Amino acid sequence: MPENSPSSQTGTPATAQLNSQMNAQLSVLIVDPNPGIRANLQNMLNQSGITRIESAMNAGTAIKALGRKSFDIILCEYDLGSGTTSGEGQDGQQLLEDLRHHRIIPPWAIFIMLTAEGTYGKVVSAAELTPTDYILKPFTVQVLHERIQKAVARRAALLPVYQLLAQARPREAIEAAIESGRTRPAYALDFARLRAELHASLKEHELAEAVYRDVLTTKPLGWARLGLARAVAAQGRTDEAIPVLEHLVADNPRLMAAYDLLARCQQERGDAALAKKTLEDAVAISPYVVRRLRRLGEVALETGDADGAEKSFRQVVTRSRYSEFRNPEDHVNLVRALVVKGDPAGASTVIRDLERSLRGTPAADACKAISVALLHDAAGNGAAAVKELKLAVDAVRAGGVLSPNMRVGLAQSCLTHRMDDEASEVMLGTLNGGDDALSAQQALNVFVRAGRPDLADGMGKQLRAQAQILLGVADEKRNMGDVRGAVQTLLEALHMAPNNLQVMIAVVGGVLRQIMEMGWDHPLAALSEEQLEHIRAIDPAHPRLAALDAELAAAKRKYGIST
């Protein structure tokens, strides 16, 4: 048998046969631009008993393939530009970034990076985006086989927890992780990490903190220290998180996510200049992660560093050029930096590139109009700027999805030109859009900071009116037996009118009704306690307070929750 044959070094013949049978069920996507290498990898996989194999020659075709079906394993070449005539396109790191960020692959998918890349920064970038493994070329069949077996064994251990999570059963997933950590000690740390992440996803940050602290009593692992800092920061203890992160970065200079969190905490503390320095340090080590470059550009603009902002946003635009998920807002940010620098010619070139390469969507139309308005404003041509801002608002009405930050910028420009109705309409849209939506108070503050408290009052009245409508919708859902749906609608009303006593009372009542009928829910219970304290602060004599306090106490007794 050849020396590098997998079955020659994997234990007994029975074990080898079992591995071969298991491998026969695995599906693999090979992503490599070189047809000869794809054929060689397929041959190596065949020697391990893996025959369900498909190939993709670049990131775009890989994303399309993964959109059609799932694969157990993705073997991806880092340098996806090699073998092409232009050497252009996404690399493996950018592909992984897109797959993770846009949730194209599930958490249990095995992604193995194959690279002969000698550039230090690129290897670090690939590693920080958590591929399951990465293998330096050249490698033998045996090395590939062993890495795959190791990855498959780990996935098999964790898969029951992941499946519960995929079925929207996070509580059961946490219990399964606890039990599996006891029965499968080889993966105890994996289960602890997964359990902490599940608590964090449920906004149970104090429980996540406890898990991370427990791990750290046994081993000073970088990921546990980072998780601890995240949990502490999520509880509003930014000043406590910062020294943890500073020590973590000093001890683990390649743990790039620590830099990102440190910069965010520094900015929340009001030290944008220090946050920029932290991000610059991170980019110097790992210069190829688009989202970090984008964040650095934003902070550079905030601190008045137009040159730094231009450099970062230009890299973002360049590196995103071949992504399936290009964001036209990157062009707007680059235009903004160039306008601040006093380079209208450069800004015009960026706008032409935006129009040429991203035309045809309402979001791109809105971004083009915003960019052109920036140029007109810089040239003192207010009438032309107004025309473009109206086009941008029309594009948003037509379905153009902009980030809350971009909407805020558009609203501010509208306010500058006394386009009051358009500014109010745009800001109302910032209150929707999921986790990154602005709060009602943040939206109102845009008008207050612009010296337009009258518009803030008007928008506040609109929000309260919408909240009243939502209360009626929640009542209808509850009467139809849709208790969960009623609570979700009540939470939308609370988002619209967070200081409205009627809404707060309705939310607490609806949440406690759901808990009593459908089981304990820690985040919702914590929300109800928070709202009760808020009600108490506003109106300590409110006639519903005592009854709601009693209902919460009854729910805790029912489920054995310590008070």
pLDDT in tens, 23-54: 788 999 999 999 999 999 999 999 989 999 99
Residue-wise burial string across 530-541, b where 16 or more C-beta atoms lie within 10 A, e elsewhere: ebbeebeeeeee
**Which H or E run includes 47?**
helix 35-47
What's the average model confidence in pLDDT over 526-552?
94
pLDDT in tens, 297-340: 999 999 999 999 999 999 999 988 877 778 999 999 999 999 99
- The three-state secondary structure class of 540 is coil
pLDDT at 18 over 50: no
pLDDT at 434 over 70: no
pLDDT at 194: 93
Range in 367-381, 412-426, 513-527 the model is least confident about: 513-527
**Average pLDDT of the chain to the nearest whole number:** 89
DSSP string, 261-307: HHHHHHHHTT-HHHHHHHHHHHHHH-TT-HHHHHHHHHHHHHTT-HH
DSSP string, 317-353: HHHTTT-TT--THHHHHHHHHHHHHT-HHHHHHHHHH
Q: What is the CA radius of gyration of the chain?
A: 27
pLDDT at 268 over 70: yes
- Which has more confidence, 144 or 97? 144
pLDDT at 432 over 80: no
Instruction: Indicate the pTM of the whole model.
Output: 0.80
pLDDT at 125 over 80: no
pLDDT at 106 over 60: yes
**Which H or E run includes 54?**
strand 52-56
pLDDT in tens, 477-520: 999 999 999 999 999 999 999 989 999 999 999 999 999 999 88
Report the first-to-last Cα separation within the chain, whole angstroms.
67
- The three-state secondary structure class of 74 is strand
Tokens found for residue 535: 């009600």
